[in-house]
A and B are shown apart, each in its own frame.
Chain A
Amino acid sequence: DGGITQSPKYLFRKEGQNVTLSCEQNLNHDAMYWYRQDPGQGLRLIYYSQIVNDFQKGDIAEGYSVSREKKESFPLTVTSAQKNPTAFYLCASSLDRDEKLFFGSGTQLSVL
Chain B
Amino acid sequence: AQSVSQHNHHVILSEAASLELGCNYSYGGTVNLFWYVQYPGQHLQLLLKYFSGDPLVKGIKGFEAEFIKSKFSFNLRKPSVQWSDTAEYFCAVTAYGNNRLAFGKGNQVVVIP
Partner-B contacts on A (CB < 8 A)? 33, 35, 37-40, 42-43, 45, 48, 58, 87-88, 90, 92, 97-98, 100-101, 103, 106, 108
**Nearest CB in chain A: distance from B32 CB, A:** 8
Taking A43-B36, A90-B101, A106-B101 as given, write out 20 further A-B residue pairs in contact, using a Cβ cutoff of 8 Å, ordered by the A residue number: A33-B44, A38-B99, A40-B32, A42-B34, A42-B36, A42-B46, A43-B44, A48-B43, A88-B100, A97-B41, A97-B42, A98-B40, A100-B108, A101-B38, A101-B44, A101-B88, A101-B90, A103-B103, A106-B100, A108-B100
**Nearest CB in chain A: distance from B34 CB, A:** 6
Partner-A contacts on B (CB < 8 A)? 32, 34, 36, 38, 40-44, 46, 49, 51, 88, 90, 94, 97, 99-101, 103, 106, 108
B97 and A39 contacting across the interface, CB-CB below 8 Å:
yes
